[in-house]
Structures are given as C-alpha cells and as structure tokens.
Amino acid sequence: MKFMENFKKGTPLLILALLMICPFVFSSPYLLHIFILIFIWSYVTTVWSYMGRFGIISLGHGAFFGIGVYTTALLFNLYNVSPWLGMLAGGLAAATIAVILGYSCFKFGVIGHYFAIATLVLAEIITLVIIALRDTLETGGKLGLTVRSLGTSPLFFQFENKLIFYYLTLALLGLALLIWKKIDDSKVQRALKAVGEDEEAALSLGIDVVKYKTTMFAVSAFMTALGGTAYIQFTMFADPTTCTGVGLSLGIVFKAIIGGMFTLWGPTIGSALIVVLEEYTRLALGSAFVSYSQIIYGLLIIILIRFLPGGLYGTFSDLFRQKRKREVQVLLSGRQAADPYK
C-alpha cells in the first residue's frame, strides 16, 4: 500500500521528467511541433475545466484566447510593446471582460445552459469586433494577421528554436495542473462543489456564490489569454476562425469532454488525443481532405457523448477504481475498511 501511495504521488513527477528528456530522444522538429500544440491545448483545456468541473460551462473561452492573441500581437505590431507585457495586458483584458459578464450573469442568476449561451454570444461578439476593426487597428479581418518577425529576441518573446517553446509551454501546463491541485485543497473547491451540486442549498448555507464563481471565471479567462499569447508567439500568425470564436470555444469544450473534465489528467488526455487525431487524419488523408478528419472528429464527439458521458479518462479510471474497490472489499470483508483512495 505504501509503495502504491508513493507510486501515485511520484507518477506526475515521473511523467514530467520523461517529458523533459523527450526532446533529446526524438529530435524531429515535427514531433516537437506536435508536442507544443498538445501542451498549449492541454493547458487551455485544463484551465477551462477549472469552471467546467463545477458545472459552470462556458462556451466563450475562444473569446478569451482570441483576446490574448490579438492584444499581444497588436500591441507589438502597432506600438512595439514587448509581448511579455502584452501577455499581461491580454490576460487583464480577458479577466476584466470575464468579471463584467460573470458578475452580471451570476448576480442575476443566469446559470446552466443560459450561461453557456451568454458566453457563446460573447465569443461571436469578439470575433465580429476583430473583423470589424480590420482597418482601424490592422487586425487583418478574416485574412488574418502576421506578427513582425525579429528572429530570436528573448526580450520580445520570439525564439527560432522550438525547444524553448517546448519547455515554456510544458511549464505553462505544469502550472495549470499545479493550480488545479491548489484549488482542490482550498475552500473554493468545497464551496464551488456545493454550488455545482445544488446552487440554492449552497446559497442558503451562506456561501457567497457570486463571488466564488466570478473569481473562478476571471482566473480561468486570465489564464486562457496567456495561452493565446504563447500560441501567437509560437505560430506568428492568427486569423479569427482558428484563434477565436465559436468554433474554437466548442473545440476546447470537446477536448475537455472527451478526456473527462472532472479529473486532473482528463483535459490533457483529451487534448492530446484530439491533436494527434487531427494530425494523423491530416497526414493520412492529405490536407485536401482536412474536412474528412473534421467529420470523423464530429462523429466521435456525438458517439462519445452518447456512450461515455464521463469522458475517456474519467470513465476508465472510474471502472478501474470500482474494480479495485471491490477487491479490497472482498479482502476486508466483515471489517469496516478505511477508504484507501482518499
């Protein structure tokens, strides 16, 4: 038992160590590229799940991602502001919008799918604003925007070496997972869990529902925008359909759902799966058939929601857990067993 416990605690560190060594084993730039994409999307999906796991489903995180992308890129392109500062500015802009929308929604009791729709509308508004500012702010509208390249310039968050992005995005993902753990141990987790289960009962217990939910929404939005900055500095190109809007928002939610949004590793596994699936179908079918990969992706989502509502990782870890619990119960039959998985 002791060994198992140590093993369980050690697993994340082991995975981390393996991922740190990875680039030296496979030095192919293509694989690095895929890993970086997986890290960025896992990060964003994990951050989304901070809210999703408590039943606050946002369909507007594409908007926050887009705010991160465009704030950084425009500040740099137009005013030569370093993307490191732009990152902060984008995060704060996203958090401000989240506080305004979140506070007014939660204050007036907009929950469940009404909240989902409100955030969906926000995603569409941000996309339209970006398109409408095509000339006044040189966002490039639907054609997209390219970040001025400076070669390698650490002060301006530009690196030609992909390895730096690899470690940077890995660190971001690590941070997101760490904060997840911190939330788990805090009062916020218990308060929000109560809210997720029964909002009115939680309210009657004196939990400041509006404050907790708004805070969580703001944190989630802030961190999503940081992911947007990392993404634009990596790809150096943004357009409204891939970097913001309803499509992206839904993509984040799907990744979380497929992996299972209630578990620490679920969002990461879902994102890895989707990124690999998209890349694989693109390679196998050629980029002319990219829509076929999207069809498969859409069908997969329908099938998964229908048959595995807990997500892949969630469902399988539940099965695993139940099986082991039953074994323990047989062994300890007749005695009151302490829950070994707490």
Partner 1 sequence: MLILNAVINGLLFGGVLALMAFGMNLMFGVVQIVHLAYGQFIMVGLYLVYLLTVLYHVPLLLSCVLAIIAIALLSVLCYYSVVKPLLKAPPINQLLALAGLWIVLENACLAFFGATYKGVQVVLPVLHVGEIYIAASNLIGFGVGLITLGLLYLFLNKTYTGVAIRAVAQDTEVSGVMGINSRTIYLITFVVGGALAGVTAACFVPVYAVHPHFGSAFTLLAFIIVILGGMGNLIGGFIGAFIIGVVTSIGSTLLNPEIGQIIALLICLLIIILRPQGLLGVRART
How many other C-beta atoms can be found within 10 angstroms of the C-beta atom of residue 313? 22
23 or 52, CB closer to partner 1?
52
Decide if 244 contacts 66 (C-beta within 8 A).
yes
Decide if 221 contacts 114 (C-beta within 8 A).
no
Residue 307 Cβ vs partner 1, minimum distance, rounded to whole Å:
9
Task: Give CA–CA dist 332/342, Å, rounded.
Answer: 17
Decide if 285 contacts 292 (C-beta within 8 A).
yes
Decide if 192 contacts 145 (C-beta within 8 A).
no
Contacts of 249 (CB under 8 A, 6+ apart): 58, 59, 60, 61, 62, 63, 119, 120, 123
Residue 20 Cβ vs partner 1, minimum distance, rounded to whole Å:
35
40 or 120, CB closer to partner 1?
120
Task: Give CA–CA dist 272/152, Å, rounded.
Answer: 28
Residue 251 Cβ vs partner 1, minimum distance, rounded to whole Å:
9
60 or 68, CB closer to partner 1?
60
Residue 62 Cβ vs partner 1, minimum distance, rounded to whole Å:
13
Task: Give CA–CA dist 29/35, Å, rounded.
Answer: 10
19 or 203, CB closer to partner 1?
203
Residue 249 Cβ vs partner 1, minimum distance, rounded to whole Å:
10
26 or 289, CB closer to partner 1?
289
Residue 48 Cβ vs partner 1, minimum distance, rounded to whole Å:
13
**For residue 175, with 0-12 CB atoms within 10 Å meaning exposed, 13-18 middle and 19 or more buried, which class applies?**
middle
Residue 290 Cβ vs partner 1, minimum distance, rounded to whole Å:
8
Residue 265 Cβ vs partner 1, minimum distance, rounded to whole Å:
21
Which residues of this protein are in contact with partner 1, per CB under 8 A?
A: 57, 101, 104-105, 108-110, 112-114, 116-118, 120-122, 124-125, 128-129, 131-132, 246-247, 250, 253-254, 257, 289, 291-292, 294-295, 297-302, 305-306, 309
306 or 323, CB closer to partner 1?
306
CA distances from 277 to 30, 62, 274, 280, 306 (A): 15, 21, 5, 5, 20
Decide if 56 contacts 118 (C-beta within 8 A).
no
Assigned token pair, 214: 């708004």
Categorise residue 236: left if φ over 0, alpha if ψ from -120 to 50, beta otherwise. Answer: left
Longest dimension (CA), the chain: 75
22 or 246, CB closer to partner 1?
246
298 or 340, CB closer to partner 1?
298
